[in-house]
Each structure stands twice: as structure tokens, then as C-alpha cells.
Amino acid sequence: MKFSLSWLREHLDFTASVEDICARLNGIGLEVEGVDDPSERVVGFRTAKILEAHRHPDADRLQVCRVAGGAGSENVQVVCGAPNARAGLHVIFAPPGTYVPGSGITIKAGQIRGQDSGGMLCSLRELGLGEESDGIAELPDTAPIGIPYAQFAKLDDPVVEISITPNRGDALSIRGIARDLAAAGMGHLKPWLTEAVEGDFPSPLAWKTEHPGCPYIVGRVIRGVKNGPSPDWLRRRLESVGVKPISALVDVTNYLTYDLGRPLHVFDVKKLNGSTLTVTQAARETFRALDGKDYVLGTDDMVIVDDAGVQSLAGLIGGEASGVDDDTTDVFVESALFDAVRIALTGRRLAIHTDARQRFERGIDPALVLNGLEAATSMILDLCGGEAGEITEAGNLPDWKRTATLRFERLETLGGVSMTPDDAVLSLEHLGFAVIERDEDRAVFAVPSWRNDVARGNALAQAASLDEGRAAVASRHVDQIEAECDLIEEVLRLYGLDSVPPVSLPLSTMISAPALSPLQSRNGLLRRICAARGLMETVGFSFVAHEDALLFGDVPESQRLLNPIATDLDQLRPTPLINLARALSRNLARGLGVNGDGALFEVGPSFDATGQHLRLAGLRGGLTAREPGQPSREPTLWDAKADLMAAILALGVPEASLSVTADAPGFYHPGRSGLVRQGPKVALGSFGELHPGIVKALGLNGTVVAFEVYLDAVPLPKNKRRTAPALSSLQPVRRDFAFLAGPDVQVQAVLKAARMADRNLIQDVRLFDVFEGASLPEGHRSIGIEVVLQPQDESLTDARLDAVSKAVEAAVLKATGATLRR
């Protein structure tokens, strides 16, 4: 919101400087974004008069001028090349030392072709105030001589720009800003009254409102007007706030939009069809607006129509078909109340940004509907002549009157400011709040019509179609909490926001709450683990092609999409491996597949008949990068198992509780895959080579290995403080065992049995060798394991080591039937 100081003086009687005005605006919550003082750009330029002008003796295109008023009482000689320089002309003079913004130079005294020149005669372009010209600027003959040009051209009028919060629609007017400044002690608010204009003839047009978004609308015809350019004072005021003057009729509506915050619109009566204008909802049609653009309207948009169709997009922009022009003689002025939410939604959808929209969607003064029309009528009659008809209206003005209660002790308990009740009441009265009732502890105020933000919920609750009991409860709640907070805010604003003591919010604990949830932290950990293992993260759609989903198992019809975003994305994916496989296929087709291009992973959802599940999926294909002493190779199922185990162990699952079974899902290679379980029932993940048939169907070559972690089956870590591990000061002891096992003995059974032989002493058991050969009985193999013994209190003796060795041998024999190789 912009305003000039001269415009502000129309409503506020003050003597403060622009610096003081800006400081006070910041203090009351109307933040100043900038100040533009046009006079600063023309510092040094003065009005002057050419007394004599004659041709330069050595240059035909130059003239030697004697100029009065340029510097003190003495006349100055200036060499000028403008063709219109002549004696008697009033001009703009730049003495030496003046910076010329249009040319980017600083004037210096000197000689031109042997003649002294003590300055420069300027055009408006050189001052940065106009377009290219063929000569110097010509001022009126009545222009005084020797005064600053900024003073003569009335450029010494700073323009202040402030930012407006969405709740302060009243501050989107010069009068609203003046009211706040007057209440803050920066001057006296001038009274504003507009006299009603009596209608000289019955209105030839009538209003009709059929839309709930327009509860009240008024208008009147003014005939016999003469449209044309606005007077200079009106043009300057509009230009100062960034509004381009168009014509007197349009400029009046723009002026009142900024002056009073009352958007208006004018129709050319002769371009309207029929005798009734109706506010209704739009059909699916195209509307050409005053900005020359065509807008496709929908049934949620509110429009004003005549017998020919849409003539205005209500509250946003008028129509080109009924717009006024220089030939307009009869005009119909509209003033209305429009629903803020409907205006905002239509404006956002159609990307229409107008001053009217900005004010309607923040709330306008309902009491100004009629007064704004009267003010517009008076200005149009003054500027354009004509005679006014009777006012026509439709609907009813909503009951905007509401109250708000302030408990004085809340100023200190909630606002942190100690203030006497009289001072608090006086502050609110300066803002237009009227005291209805008061006692020692509280005061009840009538909220002024222009403050839509104060106790707004009260008015909504009273207007809503609620039963009597619910409306009463809602009204009391808003009065006691929201409305009271609004009043406290107003008192604090005028007291000075910078004077309110800062108070930190109370802390329940000195330890900050975690920024991430346990699930977010866990997923982040898995991403780091996979990235450290050389896998590249991808993010895929939750939708895949139905044919691809069939390759990976059962596809329930309930997971088909009736309205897919693409024909090849019509199925909720049963596993993220589908997306990874397709991405790998594209990478390999482009000649990639090394240095991470052939190793991908994703943390994302999968879907089956029971619902949605979260999974970590990874895929490896192509060839590894060549390294010294290590040739390129295809990935193996052991790579996939290592990826899977690294992820599961990082989630805090004890390795000793894990086992591997051969019942992996059917899309894996049978015999080259496995299922990792915790205990006999809980499946935590799967790994292995993808089935050759699936690899071929997806257009892949070579070996492709994959893994999945079923994250829903892994419990989230509990927020318990970890205790320090009990580290022994004694060295661990390692012993190797080789067991001769039959064809049915599983390695993990041997490891588990050895680990259980002495749980207090045995710290870890690892497989280090599996041997099958002619020296062993047919069908048998040798399983080599390493047992790590960690003493806690004393060093192990030979007798103790022998006892543990025999316990391991006996435990494995009992559990698996495997015997120690001698």
C-alpha cells in the first residue's frame, strides 16, 4: 500500500516529518517497506528564464544564452544546443555540480567553442521525468524564477510504501492509515462527511442479486457526463501510488479505492442491454475483461450480467464490452459487498490481481456501500458534470454490528504491559471503538464497521445457521477469547510494539525435542547405509504397468487404477523392485552400469491385498568397475545378502536372532535366493538373483540380484538411553573348529548351537570355511567356524579352554549330528 504525504494530509492534520511518520508506522505494526522522494532525484535543478539568446559565433547549431535565476542575483551565460532555446522562455537550469540522472553526468563550468558556459538548460528526459524530446523543457510564463524545480513541479511529496497483513483491510486506504496515525498521537484526524445527492430522475436500471456471495449492492445512473482526462491534482495522486490515469470516470473509482478503501465500478449505460443487472453465478463461458484478456469462467465464479451476458467479474474486474470511454455520456456506478472467500478463490484461479480484489478479500467497510456511492457521485458531478438519478439497490446490508470485551488485567497477564484502564480505553476510543459498558474490571466496546478483523468470529457465529444453544456457546467463546485478544493487540500497537517486553516461552525441558520422528530417522539411516555401500537412491511412482506387476506375483483387482495418470501406470506396485528394474534397464541401455549406475535402491511403499507397506528395496546389475588386481564381475546373490544384512543389523536387530530359509518370493531364482527371518515366523527381508524369466521380460541381460527389507516387520527403536558397554580389560581368545556335517545340516544350525554352548564366555561365532571334496565322505562337507571367547574376570586357563571346546563340540553334535574332524 502506497500513499503520498500530501494525500495523507487530506485526512490527517500533522506537522511531523516523513521520518517520524515512518517510525511511528513501524511502531504500530504497519511496517514501512520504503520511501520514495522524487525531489531527491532532481536536487539542484532550478527554474530560470532566458533573457537573451544569440547564435554562437563559431557554431551554427549552438546558442549563447543569458539566463536569470540560475545562481543568486547574477545572470549566467549558458551555451545551449536546443533548437527551441529563445529569449523570454522559462526553463529548467542545472548549475555546476548538479547530477543529471537522465545522462548520468555531473555539470561542470567550462567553455564550449571558446564561449563560457556556467550550467545547462535541461529537458524532462534529462531529469528522468519524461521521454525523448527535441529540445529543452518549456515552463509556463507564470513560472516563478529561481526556485527549486521540485518545489515548482510539486515533486517534494514523498511516497511511503507499507506492507499490510491479511487481517488489516482497513489499512488499505489513506483514511485508515490516517486513523491509525491519529490514534498513535501523530496528528488529528479530519472529519469526513459526504452529503447525499438527491436523485433528479427515476433510475432506468435496477439491481437483482441471486448469488449468496453478494448480500447487498447499490447503484445509480448519472447522465449527461463529459468524460476526458482528469485534472492534474487527481492524475498526480494516482501516479504517486503507481496507478495509471485513464479517464476522469475511471480515475474517480481508483481514487476512492485508495482514499477510502471502497472499490467501485462504472458501466457505460448505452452499452448495457435491458433494464436489470443481475449478480449471479457464471456459466461455462468466456469473458473479455478490461485488461483485454479472455477468461474462461466456471460455475463457482460470481458475475454481473445483463440481457446480453456477462458484463463484469464481480469484485475483480469489469468487462470490455460495457467499459466507459471518451464518448460515454451516461454512466451507471456500482457499489457492493462481495464475499471475501469467493473473490479470493476466483482471483487465484484466474490469476487476476487488482486493487479491488486486494481489498474485497481482506474485508471492506460495509457502512461505506452507500456513502462510497455518494462520494463517487459528488466527484463525478464535479469533474464531469451531468445529473444524478435515484439510487437503486438489491439485497440487504448485513448486520455488521458486534461487541468485544476487554478485561483490564489481561493487558499485563497476556500482553506484558502495565497500563491503567483509562489509558487502555482511551487508546481504543481513538481507533473508533465506543464504550458500551464499563466497570472496574472490564469494558465492553462496540466494534467500528471498518474493523472486520476484530471479533469477526462473533459476527460469523451469530450469522451462521446454528441452533440457539450452539450459537450462544460460539458467541461467548469468541467474545471471551478471540475478541479480547484483538482488543489487547490494538492497545499494544498504540502503546508501541517495540516497548512490549520480550518474554521467552516456558520450557518443559531443557532438552530440545527431536526434529525427526523415529520413522524419519530410521529411513535416513537406511539411506546412508545403502549409499555407503555404493547404491544410488531413486524415487519412483507408486504406480506401474499391470503387465510388469504380473511378473512379480499376484495382482489383486482391488489394486488396479480406474483413472490412471498414464496408460502404463495403471497398477499399484507390489514391490519397488519393479521401478528399480525398469530404471536399471534404461541405464544399461545407455551404456551405463558401473560406478553406481547399476546399483539402485529406494525406500518407498508397496501394495497388496492387505494394504500399504513400507519397504527398502535394492537392485544390482551390470558390471562392477575395474580396479587394480580386481577384474569386472557380475553381482552375486552374496552381494545382495550383504546389502540386506547391513540394513537389518543397522536397525538394531541382533544377528544371533536371524536365520535364512529357502522360501523366498517366486520372482527370485529358485535355489539362489533366501528369506531372512527373526525367529521361526517373522520375515524381515529377502535376497537373491532375480528369476531369469523376469530378467528377460524386463529387457535385462546377465545376472541381476535384488533384496528387500520389510520395514513394517522391524520394530522402531525405543527411546531408551543406552548404557555404556561392559568392556573387559582381558584379551579375547579365538578357537577354530571344523565339523564334518551331513547333507541335511545347515550352517546356521551349527553356528547357533556353538553360540549356545557357553553364553557367558562365547562372544561371537563366525563361519570362515565350507569345504567339499574327495577326501570327505560322499554328500558330506566340512564347516569351519571361529569361536571368540571373551573372559571378564580372569584369564582363561588350559583346563577352562578345554572345557569350553568340549562344550562346543557336544552342543553341535547334539543339535545337528555334525562331528569334529580329527
- DSSP string spanning 172-236? SSHHHHHHHHHHTTSSEEPP---PPPPPSS--S-EEEE--TT-SEEEEEEEES----PPPHHHHH
Helices (H), 687-779: 692-697, 747-755
H/E stretch holding 746: none
Span 733-820 CATH architecture: 2-Layer Sandwich (3.30)
Q: Report the CATH superfamily, name and number, of domain 518-713.
A: Bira Bifunctional Protein; Domain 2 (3.30.930.10)
Question: Would you state the pLDDT for residue 553?
Answer: 86
528-to-242, 642, 650 alpha-carbon distances in Å: 54, 15, 10
CB 292 within 8 A of CB 283: no
Residue 778 annotated in ligand binding: no
**pLDDT reported for residue 469:** 45
| CATH architecture for segment(s) 2-37+158-189 | 2-Layer Sandwich (3.30)
What pLDDT does 480 receive?
58
β-partners of residue 782 are 740, 771
Give the start-to-end residue ranges of the domains of the chain.
2-37+158-189, 40-152, 206-395, 403-499, 518-713, 733-820
The response to whether 453 counts as a known ligand-binding position is yes
All 3 cell numbers of residue 155?
515533486
pLDDT at 467: 40
For residue 139, count other CB atoms closer than 10 A to its CB.
19
- CA dist 587 and 670 (Å) reads 27
Closest CA to 711 of 679, 683, 680: 683
| Euclidean distance between CA atoms 109 and 119, whole angstroms | 6
| Alpha-carbon gap, residue 416 to 409, rounded angstroms | 10
Q: Return d(Cα 530, Cα 665) in angstroms, integer.
A: 22
Mean pLDDT, consecutive 10-residue stretches, the chain (822 aa), reads: 92 92 91 87 89 89 86 80 90 90 87 89 85 82 88 86 90 94 92 90 94 94 94 90 93 95 95 94 91 91 93 93 93 94 93 93 92 95 94 92 90 87 92 92 92 68 40 49 86 87 79 82 93 93 93 88 89 94 90 73 93 94 82 90 94 87 92 91 94 92 94 80 80 93 88 90 90 86 92 90 93 92 81
Return the pLDDT at 456.
65
Give the H/E segment covering residue 11.
none
**pLDDT value for 462:** 40
pLDDT at position 70 is: 58
Domain 403-499, CATH among 3.30.56.10, 3.30.160.20, 3.40.630.10, 3.90.400.10: 3.30.56.10
pLDDT at 72: 60
Q: Which pLDDT belongs to residue 460?
A: 43
Residues contacting residue 379 through CB under 8 Å, at least 6 positions apart = 252, 255, 256
With residues binned 3-state (H G I as helix, E B as strand, rest as coil), the percentages for the chain, rounded to 5, are 30, 30, 45
Is 429 annotated to bind a ligand? Reply is: no
Q: Bin 454: left if φ > 0, else alpha if -120 < ψ < 50, else beta.
A: beta
- Closest-CA residue to 178 (of 156, 160, 166): 160
Residues 6+ positions from 440 with CB-CB distance below 8 Å: 421
Query: 779-818 as b/e, with b when 16 or more CB fall inside 10 Å?
Result: ebbbbbbebebbbeeeebeeeeeeebbebbbebbeebbeb
Superfamily of domain 206-395: Phenylalanyl-trna Synthetase, Chain B, domain 3 (3.50.40.10)
Neighbouring CB atoms inside 10 A of 735's CB total 14
Is residue 486 part of an annotated ligand binding site?
yes
Fold: same for 40-152 and 206-395: no
Q: What is the pLDDT of residue 594?
A: 64
Pick the CATH number of 40-152 from 3.10.20.30, 1.10.3720.10, 3.90.660.10, 2.40.50.140: 2.40.50.140
Task: Return the amino acid letter for 598.
Answer: G
